[in-house]
Structure 1
Amino acid sequence: MELSRPARIALRCAAALGFAIIYIPLLLVLINSFNLDRTFGWPPSGLTLRWWGDAWHSSGARAALWTSVRAGLGATAIALGLGTLIAFAVQRYEFFGRESVSFLVVLPIALPGIVTGVALNTAFRTVLEPLGVGLGLFTVIVGHATFCVVVVFNNVVARLRRLSGSYEDAAADLGADTFQTFRDITFPLVRSALVAGGLLAFALSFDEIVVTTFTAGPGIQTLPVWIFSNMARPQQAPVVNVVAAVLVLMSVVPVYLAQRLSSDTAAGSRI
Protein backbone atom coordinates (compact mmCIF):
# COMPACT_ATOMS: atom_id res chain seq x y z
CA MET A 1 0.00 0.00 0.00
CA GLU A 2 1.40 3.36 -1.07
CA LEU A 3 0.88 6.21 1.38
CA SER A 4 0.90 9.86 0.46
CA ARG A 5 3.68 12.07 1.80
CA PRO A 6 1.40 13.84 4.36
CA ALA A 7 0.18 10.45 5.60
CA ARG A 8 3.76 9.19 6.05
CA ILE A 9 4.71 12.34 7.95
CA ALA A 10 1.65 12.04 10.18
CA LEU A 11 2.41 8.38 10.95
CA ARG A 12 6.04 9.19 11.77
CA CYS A 13 5.01 12.03 14.06
CA ALA A 14 2.48 9.79 15.82
CA ALA A 15 5.08 7.06 16.25
CA ALA A 16 7.64 9.56 17.57
CA LEU A 17 5.09 10.94 20.04
CA GLY A 18 4.22 7.44 21.24
CA PHE A 19 7.87 6.49 21.75
CA ALA A 20 8.50 9.80 23.54
CA ILE A 21 5.64 9.17 25.99
CA ILE A 22 7.01 5.71 26.74
CA TYR A 23 10.76 6.30 26.88
CA ILE A 24 11.32 9.90 28.04
CA PRO A 25 10.12 9.09 31.59
CA LEU A 26 12.51 6.11 31.66
CA LEU A 27 15.32 8.38 30.49
CA LEU A 28 14.51 10.85 33.27
CA VAL A 29 14.76 8.06 35.85
CA LEU A 30 18.20 7.16 34.51
CA ILE A 31 19.38 10.80 34.55
CA ASN A 32 18.02 11.39 38.05
CA SER A 33 20.02 8.44 39.34
CA PHE A 34 23.10 10.65 38.73
CA ASN A 35 21.45 13.90 39.90
CA LEU A 36 23.47 15.65 42.60
CA ASP A 37 20.31 17.25 44.02
CA ARG A 38 18.52 14.93 46.45
CA THR A 39 15.19 16.60 45.55
CA PHE A 40 15.81 15.99 41.84
CA GLY A 41 15.63 19.62 40.77
CA TRP A 42 15.59 20.09 37.02
CA PRO A 43 17.88 20.62 35.25
CA PRO A 44 20.38 18.74 37.46
CA SER A 45 22.74 21.03 39.35
CA GLY A 46 25.45 18.42 38.91
CA LEU A 47 26.13 14.74 38.38
CA THR A 48 27.36 12.26 40.96
CA LEU A 49 27.88 8.52 41.46
CA ARG A 50 27.14 8.83 45.17
CA TRP A 51 23.63 7.41 44.92
CA TRP A 52 24.91 4.38 43.02
CA GLY A 53 27.34 3.71 45.85
CA ASP A 54 24.55 4.08 48.40
CA ALA A 55 22.38 1.68 46.42
CA TRP A 56 25.21 -0.87 46.22
CA HIS A 57 25.62 -0.77 50.00
CA SER A 58 21.86 -0.91 50.70
CA SER A 59 21.23 -4.28 52.32
CA GLY A 60 17.49 -3.98 51.67
CA ALA A 61 17.96 -3.39 47.94
CA ARG A 62 20.45 -6.22 47.57
CA ALA A 63 18.21 -8.65 49.49
CA ALA A 64 15.24 -7.64 47.31
CA LEU A 65 17.33 -8.11 44.16
CA TRP A 66 18.34 -11.61 45.22
CA THR A 67 14.72 -12.45 46.03
CA SER A 68 13.63 -11.24 42.58
CA VAL A 69 16.33 -13.32 40.90
CA ARG A 70 15.35 -16.47 42.81
CA ALA A 71 11.64 -15.92 42.11
CA GLY A 72 12.35 -15.25 38.44
CA LEU A 73 14.52 -18.34 38.02
CA GLY A 74 12.01 -20.54 39.82
CA ALA A 75 9.04 -19.26 37.83
CA THR A 76 11.02 -19.55 34.58
CA ALA A 77 11.96 -23.17 35.31
CA ILE A 78 8.33 -24.11 35.98
CA ALA A 79 7.15 -22.17 32.92
CA LEU A 80 9.70 -23.86 30.65
CA GLY A 81 8.65 -27.31 31.80
CA LEU A 82 4.89 -26.85 31.71
CA GLY A 83 4.77 -24.45 28.75
CA THR A 84 6.89 -26.73 26.56
CA LEU A 85 4.94 -29.88 27.41
CA ILE A 86 1.58 -28.21 26.79
CA ALA A 87 2.82 -26.66 23.54
CA PHE A 88 3.91 -30.07 22.19
CA ALA A 89 0.64 -31.66 23.28
CA VAL A 90 -1.51 -28.97 21.67
CA GLN A 91 0.49 -28.67 18.46
CA ARG A 92 1.57 -32.25 17.80
CA TYR A 93 -1.46 -34.28 18.94
CA GLU A 94 -5.19 -34.39 18.27
CA PHE A 95 -7.43 -34.85 21.32
CA PHE A 96 -10.80 -33.74 22.62
CA GLY A 97 -10.71 -30.27 24.16
CA ARG A 98 -7.40 -29.24 22.59
CA GLU A 99 -8.59 -25.72 21.78
CA SER A 100 -10.01 -25.35 25.29
CA VAL A 101 -6.65 -26.31 26.79
CA SER A 102 -4.89 -23.74 24.61
CA PHE A 103 -7.37 -21.06 25.69
CA LEU A 104 -7.04 -21.89 29.39
CA VAL A 105 -3.24 -21.71 29.19
CA VAL A 106 -3.27 -18.26 27.57
CA LEU A 107 -6.07 -16.82 29.73
CA PRO A 108 -4.01 -15.92 32.86
CA ILE A 109 -1.95 -13.28 31.09
CA ALA A 110 -5.14 -11.52 29.96
CA LEU A 111 -6.65 -11.37 33.46
CA PRO A 112 -6.09 -8.24 35.58
CA GLY A 113 -3.17 -8.77 37.93
CA ILE A 114 -5.22 -7.90 41.00
CA VAL A 115 -7.80 -10.55 40.11
CA THR A 116 -5.07 -13.17 39.73
CA GLY A 117 -3.47 -12.02 42.97
CA VAL A 118 -6.69 -12.20 45.01
CA ALA A 119 -7.56 -15.61 43.55
CA LEU A 120 -4.11 -17.03 44.31
CA ASN A 121 -4.07 -15.54 47.81
CA THR A 122 -7.42 -17.15 48.58
CA ALA A 123 -6.34 -20.49 47.10
CA PHE A 124 -3.06 -20.55 49.00
CA ARG A 125 -4.71 -19.66 52.31
CA THR A 126 -7.44 -22.24 51.77
CA VAL A 127 -5.32 -25.13 50.48
CA LEU A 128 -1.73 -24.64 51.62
CA GLU A 129 -2.03 -23.07 55.08
CA PRO A 130 -3.93 -26.06 56.55
CA LEU A 131 -0.99 -28.17 55.33
CA GLY A 132 1.49 -25.94 57.14
CA VAL A 133 2.72 -24.08 54.05
CA GLY A 134 2.34 -20.33 54.47
CA LEU A 135 2.84 -17.47 52.06
CA GLY A 136 6.49 -17.02 51.10
CA LEU A 137 8.95 -17.33 48.24
CA PHE A 138 7.38 -20.61 47.11
CA THR A 139 3.94 -19.05 46.67
CA VAL A 140 5.50 -16.08 44.83
CA ILE A 141 7.19 -18.48 42.39
CA VAL A 142 3.96 -20.40 41.80
CA GLY A 143 2.03 -17.15 41.35
CA HIS A 144 4.53 -15.84 38.79
CA ALA A 145 4.59 -19.16 36.97
CA THR A 146 0.85 -18.94 36.25
CA PHE A 147 1.43 -16.16 33.71
CA CYS A 148 5.04 -16.96 32.75
CA VAL A 149 3.82 -20.27 31.28
CA VAL A 150 1.95 -18.27 28.65
CA VAL A 151 5.02 -16.67 27.03
CA VAL A 152 6.87 -19.99 26.87
CA PHE A 153 3.80 -21.72 25.45
CA ASN A 154 3.29 -19.04 22.79
CA ASN A 155 6.94 -19.10 21.70
CA VAL A 156 7.15 -22.89 21.45
CA VAL A 157 3.78 -23.25 19.70
CA ALA A 158 4.75 -20.57 17.17
CA ARG A 159 7.98 -22.42 16.40
CA LEU A 160 6.30 -25.83 16.15
CA ARG A 161 3.77 -24.42 13.69
CA ARG A 162 6.65 -23.53 11.37
CA LEU A 163 8.22 -26.98 11.68
CA SER A 164 7.03 -29.96 9.74
CA GLY A 165 6.52 -33.22 11.58
CA SER A 166 8.42 -34.94 8.76
CA TYR A 167 11.70 -34.36 10.62
CA GLU A 168 10.58 -36.56 13.51
CA ASP A 169 9.05 -39.09 11.10
CA ALA A 170 12.29 -39.37 9.15
CA ALA A 171 14.27 -39.90 12.36
CA ALA A 172 11.85 -42.63 13.45
CA ASP A 173 12.13 -44.33 10.03
CA LEU A 174 15.91 -44.39 10.47
CA GLY A 175 15.56 -46.25 13.77
CA ALA A 176 15.76 -43.42 16.33
CA ASP A 177 13.66 -43.83 19.44
CA THR A 178 11.56 -41.03 20.96
CA PHE A 179 14.35 -39.70 23.19
CA GLN A 180 16.93 -39.74 20.39
CA THR A 181 14.53 -37.94 18.06
CA PHE A 182 13.85 -35.22 20.60
CA ARG A 183 17.54 -34.83 21.51
CA ASP A 184 18.95 -34.79 17.98
CA ILE A 185 16.11 -33.33 15.89
CA THR A 186 13.34 -31.60 17.81
CA PHE A 187 15.28 -29.88 20.59
CA PRO A 188 17.85 -28.19 18.29
CA LEU A 189 15.00 -26.85 16.16
CA VAL A 190 13.03 -25.38 19.08
CA ARG A 191 16.02 -24.42 21.25
CA SER A 192 16.02 -20.73 20.33
CA ALA A 193 12.26 -20.54 21.00
CA LEU A 194 12.80 -22.08 24.43
CA VAL A 195 15.57 -19.61 25.25
CA ALA A 196 13.45 -16.69 24.02
CA GLY A 197 10.45 -17.86 26.04
CA GLY A 198 12.62 -18.35 29.12
CA LEU A 199 14.11 -14.86 28.83
CA LEU A 200 10.68 -13.28 28.45
CA ALA A 201 9.32 -15.30 31.36
CA PHE A 202 12.20 -14.17 33.58
CA ALA A 203 11.71 -10.53 32.59
CA LEU A 204 7.97 -10.78 33.24
CA SER A 205 8.52 -12.31 36.66
CA PHE A 206 11.30 -9.88 37.57
CA ASP A 207 9.04 -6.85 36.99
CA GLU A 208 5.86 -8.21 38.60
CA ILE A 209 4.46 -6.34 41.60
CA VAL A 210 0.68 -6.85 41.84
CA VAL A 211 0.61 -10.66 42.04
CA THR A 212 3.71 -10.56 44.26
CA THR A 213 1.94 -8.30 46.76
CA PHE A 214 -0.84 -10.87 47.24
CA THR A 215 1.34 -14.01 47.26
CA ALA A 216 4.40 -12.91 49.28
CA GLY A 217 4.50 -13.57 52.99
CA PRO A 218 5.94 -11.33 55.72
CA GLY A 219 9.55 -10.37 55.05
CA ILE A 220 9.46 -11.34 51.37
CA GLN A 221 10.23 -8.34 49.18
CA THR A 222 11.10 -8.45 45.50
CA LEU A 223 12.84 -5.50 43.91
CA PRO A 224 9.66 -3.90 42.46
CA VAL A 225 7.93 -4.23 45.85
CA TRP A 226 10.97 -2.70 47.57
CA ILE A 227 10.90 0.24 45.16
CA PHE A 228 7.19 0.82 45.73
CA SER A 229 7.49 0.67 49.51
CA ASN A 230 10.42 3.13 49.57
CA MET A 231 9.12 5.72 47.11
CA ALA A 232 7.46 7.78 49.87
CA ARG A 233 10.65 7.98 51.96
CA PRO A 234 12.54 11.20 51.09
CA GLN A 235 15.88 9.89 52.29
CA GLN A 236 15.55 6.82 50.08
CA ALA A 237 14.46 8.67 46.93
CA PRO A 238 17.93 8.81 45.28
CA VAL A 239 18.55 5.12 45.98
CA VAL A 240 15.09 4.27 44.61
CA ASN A 241 15.95 6.06 41.36
CA VAL A 242 19.18 4.07 41.05
CA VAL A 243 17.41 0.77 41.72
CA ALA A 244 14.66 1.71 39.24
CA ALA A 245 17.33 2.50 36.62
CA VAL A 246 18.99 -0.88 37.24
CA LEU A 247 15.60 -2.59 36.99
CA VAL A 248 14.97 -0.95 33.61
CA LEU A 249 18.38 -1.98 32.29
CA MET A 250 18.00 -5.54 33.58
CA SER A 251 14.60 -5.81 31.91
CA VAL A 252 15.83 -4.50 28.55
CA VAL A 253 18.51 -7.16 28.10
CA PRO A 254 16.35 -10.31 28.24
CA VAL A 255 13.58 -8.71 26.18
CA TYR A 256 16.08 -7.66 23.49
CA LEU A 257 17.70 -11.09 23.39
CA ALA A 258 14.30 -12.80 23.26
CA GLN A 259 13.22 -10.54 20.39
CA ARG A 260 16.35 -11.43 18.43
CA LEU A 261 16.01 -15.14 19.09
CA SER A 262 12.32 -15.28 18.20
CA SER A 263 12.63 -13.25 15.01
CA ASP A 264 11.85 -14.97 11.74
CA THR A 265 15.39 -14.48 10.50
CA ALA A 266 16.87 -16.19 13.53
CA ALA A 267 14.38 -19.04 13.23
CA GLY A 268 15.02 -19.51 9.54
CA SER A 269 18.76 -19.73 10.02
CA ARG A 270 18.34 -22.73 12.35
CA ILE A 271 15.97 -24.81 10.29
Structure 2
Amino acid sequence: MNTHPSTSLKISAWLGAAFLHIPLLLIILYAFTTEDRTYTFPPPGLTLKWFGVAFARSDMWEALWLSVRVALGATAVALLLGGLAAAGMARSQFRGKSAVNLLLVLPIALPGIVTGLALLVSIRRAGLDAGTLTIIIGHATFCIVTVYNNVVARLRRLSPSQLEASADLGARPLQTFRYVLLPHLATALLAGGLLAFALSFDEVIVTTFTAGSQQTLPIWLYGELFKPRQRPVTNVVALLVMVVTLLPILLAQRLTQGTDAMDGAGKSS
Protein backbone atom coordinates (compact mmCIF):
# COMPACT_ATOMS: atom_id res chain seq x y z
CA MET A 1 0.00 0.00 0.00
CA ASN A 2 1.30 3.45 -0.94
CA THR A 3 1.82 5.46 2.24
CA HIS A 4 3.24 8.57 0.57
CA PRO A 5 0.87 11.55 0.38
CA SER A 6 -0.22 12.74 -3.04
CA THR A 7 0.99 16.00 -4.53
CA SER A 8 -2.43 17.60 -4.13
CA LEU A 9 -2.48 16.65 -0.45
CA LYS A 10 0.97 18.18 0.06
CA ILE A 11 -0.13 21.39 -1.67
CA SER A 12 -3.25 21.54 0.50
CA ALA A 13 -1.17 21.10 3.63
CA TRP A 14 1.21 23.90 2.63
CA LEU A 15 -1.70 26.21 1.74
CA GLY A 16 -3.30 25.54 5.12
CA ALA A 17 -0.01 26.24 6.90
CA ALA A 18 0.43 29.46 4.91
CA PHE A 19 -3.10 30.61 5.73
CA LEU A 20 -2.41 30.12 9.44
CA HIS A 21 1.09 31.56 9.65
CA ILE A 22 1.38 34.40 7.13
CA PRO A 23 -0.51 36.81 9.48
CA LEU A 24 1.96 35.89 12.25
CA LEU A 25 4.88 36.59 9.94
CA LEU A 26 3.40 40.01 9.16
CA ILE A 27 3.22 40.81 12.88
CA ILE A 28 6.89 39.90 13.22
CA LEU A 29 7.80 42.02 10.19
CA TYR A 30 5.94 45.12 11.41
CA ALA A 31 7.56 44.87 14.83
CA PHE A 32 10.68 46.16 13.06
CA THR A 33 9.10 48.84 10.85
CA THR A 34 10.17 52.48 11.06
CA GLU A 35 6.59 53.67 10.39
CA ASP A 36 4.55 54.25 13.57
CA ARG A 37 1.05 54.68 12.11
CA THR A 38 0.36 52.72 8.93
CA TYR A 39 1.01 49.24 7.64
CA THR A 40 2.57 49.99 4.24
CA PHE A 41 4.08 47.08 2.35
CA PRO A 42 6.91 46.70 1.99
CA PRO A 43 7.85 48.57 5.17
CA PRO A 44 9.68 51.84 4.50
CA GLY A 45 12.54 50.68 6.68
CA LEU A 46 13.54 48.42 9.54
CA THR A 47 14.56 49.36 13.05
CA LEU A 48 14.91 47.93 16.56
CA LYS A 49 13.79 51.11 18.34
CA TRP A 50 10.28 49.79 19.08
CA PHE A 51 11.75 47.04 21.24
CA GLY A 52 13.33 49.70 23.42
CA VAL A 53 10.06 51.63 23.56
CA ALA A 54 8.10 48.50 24.51
CA PHE A 55 10.57 47.36 27.14
CA ALA A 56 10.58 50.81 28.72
CA ARG A 57 6.83 50.60 29.39
CA SER A 58 6.34 49.81 33.07
CA ASP A 59 2.67 48.97 32.51
CA MET A 60 3.71 46.33 29.99
CA TRP A 61 6.02 44.68 32.53
CA GLU A 62 3.29 44.74 35.19
CA ALA A 63 0.90 43.03 32.78
CA LEU A 64 3.58 40.49 31.85
CA TRP A 65 4.32 39.51 35.45
CA LEU A 66 0.61 39.24 36.19
CA SER A 67 0.21 36.88 33.21
CA VAL A 68 3.14 34.78 34.43
CA ARG A 69 1.75 34.57 37.99
CA VAL A 70 -1.71 33.66 36.73
CA ALA A 71 -0.34 31.04 34.33
CA LEU A 72 1.78 29.45 37.07
CA GLY A 73 -1.16 29.42 39.48
CA ALA A 74 -3.56 27.95 36.92
CA THR A 75 -0.98 25.35 35.93
CA ALA A 76 -0.48 24.29 39.56
CA VAL A 77 -4.23 23.89 40.06
CA ALA A 78 -4.52 22.01 36.77
CA LEU A 79 -1.71 19.60 37.67
CA LEU A 80 -3.29 18.81 41.03
CA LEU A 81 -6.93 18.48 40.00
CA GLY A 82 -6.29 17.17 36.50
CA GLY A 83 -3.88 14.52 37.76
CA LEU A 84 -6.26 13.37 40.50
CA ALA A 85 -9.20 13.29 38.08
CA ALA A 86 -7.17 11.22 35.62
CA ALA A 87 -6.17 8.79 38.36
CA GLY A 88 -9.81 8.36 39.34
CA MET A 89 -11.08 7.93 35.78
CA ALA A 90 -8.35 5.86 34.10
CA ARG A 91 -9.29 2.43 35.42
CA SER A 92 -12.46 2.97 37.40
CA GLN A 93 -15.74 1.61 36.07
CA PHE A 94 -18.95 3.12 37.37
CA ARG A 95 -22.35 4.20 36.17
CA GLY A 96 -22.21 7.58 34.48
CA LYS A 97 -18.47 7.47 33.75
CA SER A 98 -18.98 8.78 30.22
CA ALA A 99 -21.00 11.71 31.53
CA VAL A 100 -18.29 12.58 34.08
CA ASN A 101 -15.63 12.36 31.38
CA LEU A 102 -17.68 14.71 29.19
CA LEU A 103 -18.04 17.20 32.04
CA LEU A 104 -14.27 17.15 32.59
CA VAL A 105 -13.40 17.98 28.98
CA LEU A 106 -16.37 20.27 28.29
CA PRO A 107 -14.77 23.57 29.47
CA ILE A 108 -12.21 23.55 26.66
CA ALA A 109 -14.91 22.87 24.06
CA LEU A 110 -17.30 25.59 25.22
CA PRO A 111 -17.00 29.08 23.69
CA GLY A 112 -14.88 31.29 25.91
CA ILE A 113 -17.65 33.85 26.26
CA VAL A 114 -19.98 31.19 27.73
CA THR A 115 -17.35 30.06 30.22
CA GLY A 116 -16.48 33.65 31.10
CA LEU A 117 -20.10 34.65 31.67
CA ALA A 118 -20.73 31.59 33.85
CA LEU A 119 -17.63 32.37 35.90
CA LEU A 120 -18.62 36.01 36.28
CA VAL A 121 -22.03 35.02 37.67
CA SER A 122 -20.42 32.48 40.00
CA ILE A 123 -17.85 34.99 41.24
CA ARG A 124 -20.54 37.53 42.06
CA ARG A 125 -22.72 34.92 43.77
CA ALA A 126 -19.74 33.85 45.88
CA GLY A 127 -19.03 37.44 46.87
CA LEU A 128 -15.47 37.37 45.55
CA ASP A 129 -13.66 40.46 44.30
CA ALA A 130 -12.39 40.13 40.74
CA GLY A 131 -8.60 39.90 40.74
CA THR A 132 -5.67 37.54 40.43
CA LEU A 133 -7.42 34.72 42.28
CA THR A 134 -10.52 34.83 40.10
CA ILE A 135 -8.39 34.90 36.94
CA ILE A 136 -6.54 31.79 38.14
CA ILE A 137 -9.83 30.04 38.89
CA GLY A 138 -11.16 30.94 35.46
CA HIS A 139 -8.05 29.74 33.63
CA ALA A 140 -7.87 26.54 35.66
CA THR A 141 -11.28 25.46 34.33
CA PHE A 142 -9.83 24.79 30.87
CA CYS A 143 -6.20 24.13 31.87
CA ILE A 144 -7.33 21.08 33.85
CA VAL A 145 -8.43 19.49 30.58
CA THR A 146 -4.92 19.50 29.06
CA VAL A 147 -3.41 17.82 32.11
CA TYR A 148 -6.31 15.37 32.41
CA ASN A 149 -6.12 14.27 28.78
CA ASN A 150 -2.34 13.71 28.90
CA VAL A 151 -2.33 11.83 32.20
CA VAL A 152 -5.41 9.67 31.59
CA ALA A 153 -4.00 8.56 28.23
CA ARG A 154 -0.71 7.58 29.86
CA LEU A 155 -2.44 5.74 32.70
CA ARG A 156 -4.50 3.70 30.24
CA ARG A 157 -1.28 2.52 28.60
CA LEU A 158 0.29 1.52 31.91
CA SER A 159 0.06 -2.19 32.64
CA PRO A 160 -1.63 -2.93 35.99
CA SER A 161 0.83 -5.81 36.44
CA GLN A 162 3.58 -3.34 37.35
CA LEU A 163 1.55 -1.90 40.22
CA GLU A 164 0.54 -5.39 41.33
CA ALA A 165 4.18 -6.54 41.24
CA SER A 166 5.23 -3.58 43.36
CA ALA A 167 2.56 -4.45 45.96
CA ASP A 168 3.54 -8.12 45.91
CA LEU A 169 7.14 -7.15 46.65
CA GLY A 170 6.01 -5.31 49.77
CA ALA A 171 6.08 -1.71 48.56
CA ARG A 172 3.80 0.70 50.34
CA PRO A 173 1.37 2.76 48.21
CA LEU A 174 3.56 5.85 48.49
CA GLN A 175 6.62 3.86 47.38
CA THR A 176 4.69 2.41 44.44
CA PHE A 177 3.65 5.90 43.42
CA ARG A 178 7.18 7.28 43.73
CA TYR A 179 9.17 4.50 42.09
CA VAL A 180 6.70 2.94 39.65
CA LEU A 181 3.84 5.28 38.80
CA LEU A 182 5.51 8.70 38.85
CA PRO A 183 8.31 7.82 36.39
CA HIS A 184 5.66 6.76 33.88
CA LEU A 185 3.60 9.91 34.42
CA ALA A 186 6.41 12.47 34.64
CA THR A 187 6.53 13.44 30.96
CA ALA A 188 2.72 13.42 30.68
CA LEU A 189 2.42 15.74 33.68
CA LEU A 190 5.15 18.02 32.38
CA ALA A 191 3.68 18.16 28.88
CA GLY A 192 0.20 18.84 30.25
CA GLY A 193 1.56 21.52 32.55
CA LEU A 194 3.44 23.24 29.72
CA LEU A 195 0.35 23.28 27.53
CA ALA A 196 -1.72 24.59 30.43
CA PHE A 197 0.80 27.40 30.98
CA ALA A 198 0.69 28.35 27.29
CA LEU A 199 -3.13 28.33 27.22
CA SER A 200 -3.37 30.47 30.33
CA PHE A 201 -0.71 32.95 29.30
CA ASP A 202 -2.47 34.09 26.11
CA GLU A 203 -6.11 33.75 27.21
CA VAL A 204 -8.25 36.83 26.51
CA ILE A 205 -11.99 36.12 26.61
CA VAL A 206 -12.29 34.36 29.98
CA THR A 207 -9.84 36.88 31.46
CA THR A 208 -12.06 39.76 30.37
CA PHE A 209 -14.88 38.45 32.57
CA THR A 210 -12.74 37.53 35.59
CA ALA A 211 -9.97 40.15 35.79
CA GLY A 212 -11.91 43.16 37.02
CA SER A 213 -9.60 46.18 36.71
CA GLN A 214 -6.43 44.11 36.35
CA GLN A 215 -4.69 43.68 33.01
CA THR A 216 -2.89 40.57 31.90
CA LEU A 217 -0.55 40.95 28.94
CA PRO A 218 -3.12 39.88 26.31
CA ILE A 219 -5.68 42.32 27.78
CA TRP A 220 -3.06 45.08 27.80
CA LEU A 221 -2.22 44.23 24.20
CA TYR A 222 -5.87 44.43 23.16
CA GLY A 223 -6.22 47.86 24.75
CA GLU A 224 -3.14 49.17 22.94
CA LEU A 225 -4.56 48.21 19.54
CA PHE A 226 -6.84 51.26 19.66
CA LYS A 227 -3.88 53.65 19.96
CA PRO A 228 -2.57 54.19 16.39
CA ARG A 229 0.85 55.51 17.39
CA GLN A 230 1.47 52.37 19.48
CA ARG A 231 0.97 49.85 16.68
CA PRO A 232 4.67 48.86 16.38
CA VAL A 233 4.80 48.49 20.17
CA THR A 234 1.82 46.13 20.08
CA ASN A 235 3.58 44.11 17.40
CA VAL A 236 6.69 43.83 19.58
CA VAL A 237 4.64 42.65 22.56
CA ALA A 238 2.67 40.26 20.32
CA LEU A 239 6.00 38.80 19.21
CA LEU A 240 6.94 38.36 22.88
CA VAL A 241 3.64 36.56 23.56
CA MET A 242 4.24 34.26 20.58
CA VAL A 243 7.70 33.33 21.84
CA VAL A 244 6.53 32.73 25.43
CA THR A 245 3.65 30.49 24.31
CA LEU A 246 5.50 28.72 21.50
CA LEU A 247 8.38 27.44 23.63
CA PRO A 248 6.21 25.42 26.07
CA ILE A 249 4.20 23.99 23.17
CA LEU A 250 7.35 22.87 21.33
CA LEU A 251 8.77 21.36 24.51
CA ALA A 252 5.50 19.57 25.28
CA GLN A 253 5.39 18.19 21.73
CA ARG A 254 8.96 16.92 22.08
CA LEU A 255 8.20 15.30 25.43
CA THR A 256 5.24 13.40 24.02
CA GLN A 257 7.05 12.12 20.93
CA GLY A 258 7.43 8.37 20.88
CA THR A 259 4.79 7.73 23.53
CA ASP A 260 2.40 5.89 21.25
CA ALA A 261 3.82 2.56 22.38
CA MET A 262 2.13 0.88 25.30
CA ASP A 263 3.95 1.98 28.44
CA GLY A 264 4.66 -0.98 30.68
CA ALA A 265 2.83 -3.38 28.42
CA GLY A 266 5.40 -6.07 29.02
CA LYS A 267 6.41 -8.68 26.47
CA SER A 268 4.27 -9.19 23.44
CA SER A 269 3.11 -12.70 22.78
Hey, what does 1:65 align to over in structure 2?
Answer: 64
Kindly provide the CA deviation profile for residues 2-49 of structure 1, in whole angstroms up to 9, marking residues without a partner as x.
389xx8121111111110011111011011111111123211222111
Given the superposition, is the C-alpha separation of residues 270 and 33 from structure 1 closer, same or farther in structure 2, using an over 3 Å criterion?
A: farther
- How big is the alpha-carbon RMSD for the aligned residues of Structure 1 and Structure 2? 1.7
Stretch moving more, 35-44 or 46-55: 35-44
Amino acid at match of 1:248: M
> What is the CA-CA distance between 1:270 and the residue it aligns to?
7.8
**In structure 1, what is the Cα distance between the partners aligned to 2:49 and 2:261?**
47
CA distance in 2, matches of 1:9, 1:185: 46
Contact 1:108 1:146 in 2 (8 A): yes
In structure 2, distance between residues paired with 1:3 and 1:200:
31
Counterpart-to-counterpart distance in 1, 2:91 and 2:97:
11
- The match for 1:214 is 209
Matches within 5 A, 1:1-271: 1-2=1-2, 8-38=6-36, 39-127=38-126, 129=127, 133-218=128-213, 220-263=214-257, 265-266=258-259
In 2, are the aligned partners of 1:148 and 1:204 still within 8 Å (CA)?
A: yes
CA distance in 2, matches of 1:86, 1:215: 25
Percent identity for Structure 1 against Structure 2: 51
Q: For residue 116 of structure 1, give the secondary structure of its aligned residue in structure 2.
A: helix
Output one character per residue of 1:155-192: Cα deviation in whole Å (capped at 9) or x when no partner.
Answer: 00111111111111111100001100000110011100
The letter of the residue matching 1:154 is: N
Is contact 2:158–2:262 with CA below 8 Å preserved after alignment?
A: no
Question: 1:186 & 1:159 partners in 2: Cα distance?
Answer: 10
* 2:157/2:263 contact within 8 Å kept: no
Unaligned segments of structure 1, at least 5 residues? none
Once the two structures are superposed, what CA deviation does each residue of 1:209-230 show, in whole Å capped at 9, x if it has no partner? 0000001111x11111111111
Quote the Cα distance in structure 2 between the aligned partners of 1:84 and 1:92: 13
Native 8 Å contact 1:79 1:152 kept in 2? yes
- Conserved 8 A contact 1:192-1:267: no
Runs of 4+ aligned residues of structure 1 deviating over 6 Å after TM superposition are none
Q: 3-state DSSP class of the match of 2:34?
A: coil
**What is the Cα deviation at residue 93 of structure 1?**
2.5
